[in-house]
């Protein structure tokens, strides 16, 4: 039995480990024991060093909008409540044409399950051609007043247009979860719990995220 046990909760966050994948140029992940009972210390204590945008994490508006809110200002209901996992079939981009098939409603929390979930987390190397949100799709999400968007790799936008995509979503007040692994979550309706660490004024923060079918 996995750690979800019989509760029905599915863990959709990725495990953190030293040397794991991160956005190119971001600080590496290093988790080291500064005290260790195996070496005769009285307790085992780790030091965790990592960028705030590694693994499963959230982005705050201040990540790309100067003077905007930090992650500690996120309303808790942005990421806790009903959510929908939408299966994206396009192997390159999340496009408006595909989104239109799903009848997105204002205020929805939507998690995009792309081929990234199965493909990208198997390696500690950065996968450059991950599926990301297109410019037009970001505009559609903003127009539809989606509350929260989750993606299954390290950025909502691609390597070339990441800044622009983040800005469109954040300007529209959409909260962003990145780095989910949705391979164990079938498309459908869920209760979402996702809690980023309460970092004061933080541009982002690691998060634990889980889903329970509704
Ligand atoms: Zn981001």
* Cα 71 to the center of its chain, rounded Å: 13
Q: What is the pLDDT of residues 77-124, one digit of tens each?
A: 999 999 999 999 999 999 999 999 999 999 999 999 999 999 999 999
Residue-wise DSSP of 101-159? GG---TT-EEEEE-THHHHTTT-SS--TT--EE-HHHHHHHHHTT-SEEE-SSS-SS-T
Q: For residues 151 and 166, what is the distance between their CA atoms, to the nearest angstrom?
A: 12
Q: List CB-based neighbours of ion ligand 1 within 5 Å.
A: 59, 178
Strand, coil or helix: what is 63? helix
Long-range residue pairs from 115-122, CB within 8 A, at least 24 positions apart, any chain: 115/88, 115/91, 116/151, 116/152, 116/153, 117/152, 117/180, 117/181, 117/182, 117/183, 118/183, 120/21, 120/152, 120/153, 121/14, 121/21, 121/181, 121/183
In the set 22, 53, 63, 166, the catalytic residue is 63
**Ligand 1 centroid to 7 CA: how many Å?**
31
Separation of CA 41 and ligand 1 centre (Å): 39
Contact criterion met (CB below 8 Å) for 84 and 190? yes
Mean pLDDT for all residues in the chain: 96
Binned at pLDDT 50, 70 and 90, residue 5 comes out as low
CA dist., res. 68 & res. 202, Å (int): 11
- Residue 103 Cα to ligand 1 midpoint, Å, equals 25
Question: Ligand 1 mean position to 93 CA, how many Å?
Answer: 16
φ/ψ (deg, to 5) at 162 = -55, -40
87's enclosing H/E stretch is strand 80-87
Please state, as a whole number, how many other Cβ atoms lie within 10 Å of the Cβ of residue 152: 30
Q: For 87, list phi and psi in degrees, rounded to 5.
A: -80, 125
pLDDT band of 4, cuts 50, 70, 90: low
Task: Determine the distance separating the centroid of ligand 1 and the alpha carbon of 116, expressed in angstroms.
Answer: 15
Q: What is the pLDDT of residue 1?
A: 42
Q: Is 53 a catalytic residue?
A: no
Asked if the model's pLDDT at residue 168 lies above 70, the reply is yes
């Amino acid at each position: 039995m996995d750690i979800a046990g019989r509760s029905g909760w599915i863990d959709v966050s990725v495990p953190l480990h030293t040397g794991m994948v991160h956005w190119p140029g971001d600080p590496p992940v290093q988790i080291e024991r500064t005290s260790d009972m195996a070496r005769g210390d009285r307790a085992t204590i780790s030091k965790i060093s990592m960028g705030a945008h590694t693994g499963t994490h959230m982005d705050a508006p201040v990540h790309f909008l100067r003077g905007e809110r930090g992650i500690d200002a996120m309303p808790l209901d942005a990421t806790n409540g009903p959510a929908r996992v939408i299966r994206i079939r396009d192997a390159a981009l999340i496009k408006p044409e595909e989104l239109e098939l799903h009848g997105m409603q204002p205020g929805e929390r939507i998690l995009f399950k792309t081929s990234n979930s199965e493909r990208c987390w198997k390696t500690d190397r950065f996968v450059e051609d991950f599926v990301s949100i297109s410019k037009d799709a970001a505009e559609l999400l903003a127009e539809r007043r989606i509350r929260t968007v989750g993606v299954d790799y390290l950025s909502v936008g691609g390597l070339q247009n990441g800044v622009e995509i983040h800005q469109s979503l954040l300007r529209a007040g959409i909260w962003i979860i990145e780095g989910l692994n949705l391979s164990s979550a079938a498309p459908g309706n869920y209760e979402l719990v996702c809690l980023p660490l309460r970092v004061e004024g933080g541009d982002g923060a690691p998060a634990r995220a889980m889903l329970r079918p509704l």
